[in-house]
Each structure stands twice: as structure tokens, then as C-alpha cells.
Amino acid sequence: MAVFDVRLKKLEHDIEHASNYDEFEAACLAHDALSGAQEWKAEDASDDYDYKLIRKRVQRLQLARGKGDIHALMSILHEGLHGNLGNIANPLLILHCKVGTKYLIEQFIDEVTLALEQIFHADEQQVDFYEKLSFFEETAHAFGRSCLMLSGGAGLGFFHAGVVKSLNEKNLLPTVVSGSSAGSIIAAMLGTRNHDQLLEALSAEFIYETFKHWRSFAGLGKKGLFDSSVLENALIELFDLTTFEEAFKKTGRHITVTVSPADLHQHSRLLNAKTSPNAIITQAVRASCAVPVIYSPVQLRAKTPAGDIVPYIPNRRFADGSLMADLPYERLARLYGVNHSIVSQTNPLAVPFISSNRIDPNSLWDMSARHLGQLAKTNSIFAIDIIERLTGNKEAKLAIHKVRSIIDQQYVGNINILPKRQIRNLSQVLSNPTRDSIEQLIVSGERASWPQLHVIKRNTKISEKLRYHLGQLKKREAVELGHVVK
């Protein structure tokens, strides 16, 4: 046993110091083989999920697929397919091994995707085109989809580049993406660049050359401490006058940039191809990055059908999106049918207090701690509401309102990717980046993503397959109706 302990320690060292994902994954699999986790994966039974339900569903799918019974497959999938059927997405299931999960769960996901393939390719004398289209529309809507949310974090935001780089290399990027403050820059890159273009744009060299002087002191007595023209010129170079609608047509990604109002009696806004198709991405990102005091608030711009640039929401200015909508999950759920979130979180106000594993408390101490935390949050908001009501000064009232918004937000998702908690992170928040600091943040983002890639693949495989086949059917329908040229 001591020999095995030494070998496990060696593998843990290899996992910690892997130079790329393939090395990381190989060391994790070797660790699982030695630690006994592989045997755990192979055993169906567990109190953490309903293995009997999943096993029965696998058997029914296999039987229907073997018979080529398309209507039976559609019925089985219709009757109860969702992302956490039988609690298969329970985060406790990933604590037993370094990568992967129960083989039964992986088999179930594979059986569902094979069933979807069989339905899509079914003979249309057996299942006609519009029956297929209806099935994929209804099932995709009911099943939902995942989103990627990139938080604010000022200079730490380049951590997101490493996260996105890892997801892009494995073709695991969700098509719904939001970004606030620094996260909006990376979200906008996702929305305006294809797979290969992202490989270049997410390199340390490219990011450094673009943003090496984005924090230039403007002097006292200005609307912001830093000169916003340097940042704005960098954003113009990246995104030009591209609108949200134009970006969506180019990449097919639904990107959202969040902005906060610079005055009272206004709510945060989500700018995207649905809510603001003609808004210009450059100005939206510039506004989302406008940290109060640091940068001046921004007048948004839009493009008319004739190509003219005009004010968007005249007489209003907007600032840092993370103040009121760092992770706008509920509104993304309404707009895009999102029911699962992947969060890359670098907000210095949030990171020290959250864990990458979002697990429900299962001990009296954990339950008490969570309850006390929620109680403290509720009491803080109540106290701030009282102070705001008693404050007469408009500027002070606005500042108090922003503080309330920061406290009242939810800063975690279903999957949370976080940088390591290090004191040096604070020094990078408001400093100009160096090539080395950007490289370190990108590598940090990649490494933090690696343990989650297997989880993300499992949690998004079915929804992406549904959306892909639905998209193929929609394209075919458009051709047959004469809406596009073949």
C-alpha cells in the first residue's frame, strides 16, 4: 500500500505541474486507476443519483434503437429528458475521481446522442420532415442549454482568455455567452471571431500589444482618473463598428454585454442581438468597462440601416456592467432558454468567498454556515435600503444604490472556474499588464479549466447535439421555402 501511496503522490505532482491538458488528463486517469476510482466508476449503484432510473432508461433506448423504432425513441426522450435526470449532474459525483463519472451516466448520455442521430437521419417516409422539426424544436426548448458567463475583474479579466482558450480548443464553447466589465472584452472577441481567429486573439502577445497601455492616468479634476481614449482606441481596433446583429450573423454566438446606468431609477441593461441588434459592440464594451471613478461613463451608439452612427438610448450614460449584473443568469434564461451556467469568475469582491465546487451543504455545520451567510446578506441589504431612504444627496444615494447591487448579486453558477487566491492578484487589478503577467493569467485560466472540461462536455453534449440538428433542419426548411439560395 505504501508503494501505491508513493505512486499516487507522484501522480498528484504530475497533475499539479502538467504543461498541457493531455498530460493533465493522462495523469488523472492513471491516478483514478491506482486509487480505486476506476472501480467506483464501473459500479452503477450510488446514493448520489437514481442509478436504477438511469439504467432502465439506457435499456429502453438500446431496445428501441436496436429495433429502429423511431417513434419509440421520440417518446422515451419526450417523456423525461432533462439535464439532471435522476440527479446525474449532482456535483458530489465528481468528488470521487479526478476525471469522469459513473460509466452508467456516460453511457446514458451516449445513448441519448445516438438516439438523436437516429431520429435526425430517419427515413422520412417513416417520420416526415416537419415531425422531426417539431420534435427537435420542442425537445431543445424543454431541455434547455448552457451559457458561459465571464465576470468583471479589471486587470484580472485576462484570466478569462485562458478559460475560453481551453474551451475553444476542445470545441466546448457554449453559443450563449455574457460578459461584464473586463469579461465583456473576451465575450466580444468570442462574438466577432471564429475558431481559428480566436486562437490568435487569445494569445498573450496579441492581448499585450492591444492593451499594454489601457490604463493611462488622466489627471485630477477629470470625469475619470484614467484616460478612456486609450482603451477606446484598443476596442475600436478589435471590434470596429460591428453591431450585435452583425456579430451573430458572422459567428452564430449569442453574446451579451451588461452595462449599468450612471443615474438612479434605471436598471442594468443586457445588450445583445435580441435586445439591441443595432447597438455597436465597441461602445457597449467601453461602457461595461467604465469602472466608476476610474473611467468616465459612456453614451452608447448604434448603426442605422443606412450605416449612420447615432446615439443609442439618448440622454443616458452607462458604466461598469459588473456593478449590477456581473452574472445575468436569470435574464439569459428568459432570453435564450438557459438552464445551466459555466462561470469564469475573477471579480475581486467575490472570488475570496466562493468555491469552484457548488455543493449543497450536507452537514449541520455547513447548513448553519450557509444560513448565517444568507441572513447576513439579507440584513445588509435591509440596512442599506434604510440608509438610502434617509439619504437626500443624489450622488450619495446613487453610490449607496450601487453598493446594494453589488451585495445583492449571485456570483456563482453550476460550474465555477476560479483563479488561485493570491495576494499578487490584487496588484494586477488596476495596473498596466506586462507580457509575462498576461501569460501567467492565461495559463492560470487554462489550468483552472482543465478539471472542469470533462464535466462541461457531459453537461453540454446533449443540448449541443439538439441545437446542432435543429439548426440543420431550420436551414433545410429555409431552403425549401425559398428563403435562402442553395
Tens-digit pLDDT profile for residues 24-62:
999 999 999 999 999 999 999 999 999 999 999 999 999
What is this structure's pTM? 0.86
Whole-angstrom Cα distance, residue 341 to residue 328? 10
For 31, residues 6+ apart whose C-beta sits below 8 A from its C-beta are: 8, 11, 12, 15, 37, 98
What value, to the nearest 5°, has the Cα angle with vertex 469 and ends 466 and 475? 135
Q: What is the mean pLDDT of residues 139-166?
A: 92
Tell me what pLDDT residue 486 has: 46
Tell me what pLDDT residue 266 has: 64
Tell me what pLDDT residue 429 has: 58
- The set of cell numbers assigned to 372 is 448565517
Is residue 186 within 8 Å of residue 160, measured between CB atoms? Answer: yes
Give the pLDDT band of residue 1 (cuts 50, 70, 90): very low
Q: Is 432 exposed, middle or buried (0-12, 13-18, 19+ CB in 10 A)?
A: middle
Give the pLDDT band of residue 279 (cuts 50, 70, 90): very high
- The set of cell numbers assigned to 291 is 469602472
Structure confidence by residue, pLDDT tens digits, 215-236: 666 555 566 667 778 888 899 9
Residue 23, helix vs strand vs coil: helix
> Which CATH architecture is the domain 145-346+412-454 placed in?
3-Layer(aba) Sandwich (3.40)
Question: Considering the chain, what percentage of its residues have pLDDT values greater than 90?
Answer: 58
More confident residue, 475 or 355: 475
- The set of cell numbers assigned to 251 is 459567428
Is residue 70 within 8 Å of residue 119, measured between CB atoms? Answer: yes
3-state helix, strand, coil in the chain (%, to 5): 60, 10, 35
Is residue 416 within 8 Å of residue 422, measured between CB atoms? Answer: no
For the question of residue 181 being annotated catalytic, the response is: yes
Catalytic residue among 320, 344, 437, 449: 320
Q: What is the mean pLDDT of residues 164-172?
A: 95
What value, to the nearest 5°, has the Cα angle with vertex 141 and ends 109 and 137? 95
Catalytic residue among 35, 178, 180, 181: 181
For the question of residue 320 being annotated catalytic, the response is: yes
Structure confidence by residue, pLDDT tens digits, 342-382: 999 988 766 666 655 555 555 566 667 666 767 766 777 77
pLDDT, mean over the chain? 86
Tell me what pLDDT residue 422 has: 55
Q: What is the mean pLDDT of residues 84-89?
A: 88
Domain residue spans of the chain? 1-144+458-480, 145-346+412-454, 355-410
Give the pLDDT band of residue 84 (cuts 50, 70, 90): confident
Whole-angstrom Cα distance, residue 439 to residue 437? 5
